[in-house]
Amino acid sequence: MKRVILFLSALALFGHASWAQEKKLTIVSYPARPPKLPLWLARDAGLFKKYSLEVSLKELASSDELLQSLARRDADLYAATAPYIVAAIGDGADLAFIANTGYSVLKLLSRPEIARAADLKGKKVGTGDFGSSQDRITHQALIRLGIDPERDVTLVPMGGRSIDRLKALIAGKIDATTSNEDNLFELERKGDMGKVRVLADNESLKLYIGGGVDFAMSRALIQRDRVAVKNFLKAMCEAIALARRDRAAADRIYTQYIGVRDPALLDFMYRTYVRGAIPERPFPKGEAVALGLEEFGGKPGLRGKKPEDLIDASLIQDLDREGLFTKLYQ
C-alpha cells in the first residue's frame, strides 16, 4: 500500500511539472508592420509567459529570407503577409491560417474634381509593376467599384512605392491611385488633403489585402498541441485588449519596433491601427488568402483549393464560445 501511495505521489508531481513546463514556439516574422503590435506587445508584456509559452521571435529582413524559412519549415508559426504563406502551401507546406491582426490601411485617392468612382472611366490610374501585389490590389479595388481595369481606365505602372504614385497624383500626372494611411498622414500634416479626394477605403471596398499580418501554423502542431496554440492566441487577444485600454503601452511598442517618436504620428498610428485596423477578434481573413490563391493557384498543392481550405478558424471560434472576448471587453 505504501508503494502505491509513493507511486501516485510521484505521478502527481511529474504531472504537475509537465503542466508547468513552458511550451516552446518559434515564430518567424516579416515584415515589421503596424498590425504586428499584438505579437510584440504579448511578448513584451509577459502574456506568453502567463500562458506557459516560451516564444522565440525571429524578425527577418527581407522577403527572400522569409521564403527560404518557409522552404526549410524552420518555424512553428509564421507571421507574414498571406500570399507568401499561400505560395509555401502550394509547394507542400502543411500550414493553416489561424489568425489575422490587421492590414495596411488602404485608400483609393483621386484628383479633387473626380467626385465618384464612375468618373474614373477614361482616366489614368497609377499602379505597381505589372503582376505585383500592388497591381493586383489596384485591379481588385477598381473591379469592386464597377470599373473594368483593362477597358475603362488606363493603368500606369509606377513601381512599388505608393508615395511616388501619390506625388504623381498631386502633380497631375495621373488621375487616381491607391495609397496607405502613412502617406495620408504626411498630406494631413502638410495641409495638402485638399489636393486629393478619398473615393474608397478598405471598409467600403471590403478589401483587406496587402501588408496584412496573417498567422499560419502547422496543421500537425494544431492537432498535437491544440491547448498551446489556443494559449498563444489568448495571449495575442489579451495584448489587443491591453493596447486598447493602455495607450502608453501601444506607443512604447511603436517606438521600439517601428521607430515612431513623433507624438502626432503616434496618435495617428493609435487611431488608425489600435482603434481601427487591428480587430478585437483576430479571425483569419479569407480575402488575404484569396489574393495568394489568385497569384499562386497553379502550384501543385493549391489546385482546386478555396480560401476556406487553407484556414482553421476553429481556434478563435473556441475562444469566442468560451467567453474570452466578453471577459476582455465587458
For 258-277, write each residue's pLDDT tens digit: 999 999 999 999 999 999 99
**DSSP string computed for 140-180:** HHHHHTT--TTTTSEEEE--S-HHHHHHHHHTTS-SEEEEE
Domains of the chain, start order? 23-103+210-329 (3.40.190.10), 106-205 (3.40.190.10)
Residues 156, 184 contacting (CB under 8 angstroms): no
Q: What is the mean pLDDT of residues 158-171?
A: 86
| Higher-pLDDT residue of 187, 249 | 249
- Report the pLDDT value the prediction gives residue 205, as an integer from 0 to 100: 86
Q: In this model, does residue 10 exceed pLDDT 80? A: no
Count other C-beta atoms under 10 Å from residue 77's C-beta.
22
Please compute the mean of the pLDDT values over residues 248-265 and round it to a whole number.
Answer: 95
Question: What digits encode the pLDDT tens for the residues 197-241?
Answer: 999 988 888 877 666 899 999 999 999 999 999 999 999 999 999
Q: CA 281, CA 325: separation in Å to the nearest integer?
A: 7
Comparing CA positions, the residue from 35, 30, 31 lying closest to residue 181 is 35
Q: How far apart, in whole angstroms, are the C-alpha atoms of residue 261 and residue 277?
A: 21
Q: In whole angstroms, what is the distance from residue 190 CA to residue 173 CA?
A: 20
Residues 168-183: what's their mean pLDDT? 90
Q: Which residues of 233-262 are buried (b: 16+ CB within 10 A; e: fewer)?
A: bbbbbbbbbbbbeeeebbbbbbeebbebee
pLDDT number for residue 108: 93
53, pLDDT greater than 90: yes
| Mean pLDDT taken over the chain | 90
The pLDDT of residue 160 is 65
The 10s digit of each residue's pLDDT in 26-51 is 999 998 999 999 999 999 999 999 99
**What does the pLDDT average to over 45-63?**
96
pLDDT at residue 193, rounded to an integer: 85
The 10 Å Cβ neighbour count of residue 99 is 29
pLDDT of residue 210: 65
